[in-house]
Amino acid sequence: MTVLSCPLTFAGGSDSLADLPKRAIEHSQITLPGSSPFHLEARVFEATNRDNDNYKAKIQEDWSAPDKWSRVIKSDKFSETLITSDGRVTDEITGDYYPLWLHTLVDAIVDPGAPLQGVDLVKSHDNPIIGGQQTCRRFGYRVGIVPAQNTVFAWYCFQGGLIQSIGKPGYEAQYSDYKKFGQKQVARKIQEEIEPGTTLEADIVALSEANSVSDSSLVIDHPTQPLRSIFVNEQTLRGIAVDSPPIQWPTIHGGKPVGTLSIYVCIDRQGRVRETYGLNSDNPYMTDAARKQLMNWTFKPAQNNGDAVQLEGILTFAYQTKIAR
């Protein structure tokens, strides 16, 4: 990504830039209060390798109001039937882990405004895109524990008043193929690059207005708490680590032998690391080595109000190695 650190000229001035996230959400999000009831179906697959069954999933949502909807997610190793009705919730799941790549795409479909909450585009003059018709802003913030600290980034891009892409630690979505649905424009294609060379895609294959969700399909006899993934800071993560051997840094053939790197880690309800994603790094080779070793770390199982939860967080490391002759 080419970085241009200079102000953009934006029609309408700073006030329009400040209002852009709110307007984009209003124009495209179909789960806002007052939105029309709908039936939605989506298919998830790896766009870079359609034969890879590890990233295939089906999503179905029947929605009447923010407190009255049902969602069914089915993939090879995880499935969920989540029902919300008048403040009562039930969640039936199979599988021991809800993968980050999947719930990122689900959230990007039904709640694209969530990662924009609290974002003030006026506070940044860093534009990560040169040329084109997009309006973008990038933010950097510090992570880690002294002396191992690093800067990670989040960016937000819009085009034609609609969300074009959002990227932040633990979340990336690119929106395209917008089509009219009622009074809104809805992206029918959402892509997520989980690592270089691997792009996942969610296609909305059915979206239609509905009278309402049938009350019979929203009967909740035994309310349960939905499965949650909670973000925690690095100090908390390191404090609950059970088995966290020091990273062994390999000898390299090029790049910086001394530096820092940050990795986004996802932990299941049993305390096992299930996914790792590289963030900002002084040497990508060191990131690959750290990611592989972090998959063997274990943590204390976490609970929230008595319910087992998944955890997400950022771990930052200072590395030092040698360059092979």
Residue 208 pairs in a beta bridge with 39
Q: Where are the domains of the chain?
A: 13-218, 229-320
Give the number of other Cβ atoms within 10 Å of residue 131's Cβ: 7
155-180 pLDDT, tens digit per residue, is: 999 999 999 999 999 999 999 999 99
Lowest-confidence pick of 20-24, 34-38, 109-113, 254-258 = 254-258
CB-facing half-sphere around the CA of 114: CA atoms within 13 A = 16
Alpha carbon distance 64, 62 (integer Å): 7
Could you read off the pLDDT of 24-52 as tens digits, one per residue? 999 999 999 999 999 999 999 999 999 99
Six-digit token pair at 134? 């997009």
Distances (CA, A) of 47 to 50, 60, 173, 203, 260: 6, 20, 14, 10, 32
In this predicted structure, the answer to whether residue 282 has a pLDDT above a threshold of 80 is yes
Question: For domain 13-218, which architecture applies?
Answer: Clam (2.50)
The values of phi and psi at residue 197, to 5°, are 90, -5
**Would you say 69 and 61 are in contact if contact means Cβ atoms under 8 Å apart?**
yes
CATH code: domain 229-320 is 3.30.2420
Asked if residues 101 and 194 have their Cβ atoms less than 8 Å apart, the reply is yes
Encode pLDDT of 6-18 as tens digits: 333 333 344 488 8
Per-position DSSP letters for 4-62, written without gaps between them = B-SPPP-TTHHHHHHHHHHHHHHHH-TTSTTPPPEEEEEEEEETT-TT-GGG-EEEEEE
Is the pLDDT at 131 greater than 90? The verdict is no
Statement: residue 59 has pLDDT above 50: yes
In Å, the largest CA–CA distance within the chain is 71
* 3-class secondary structure, 120: coil
**pLDDT value for 216:** 61
Phi, psi of 54 (to 5 degrees): -65, -20
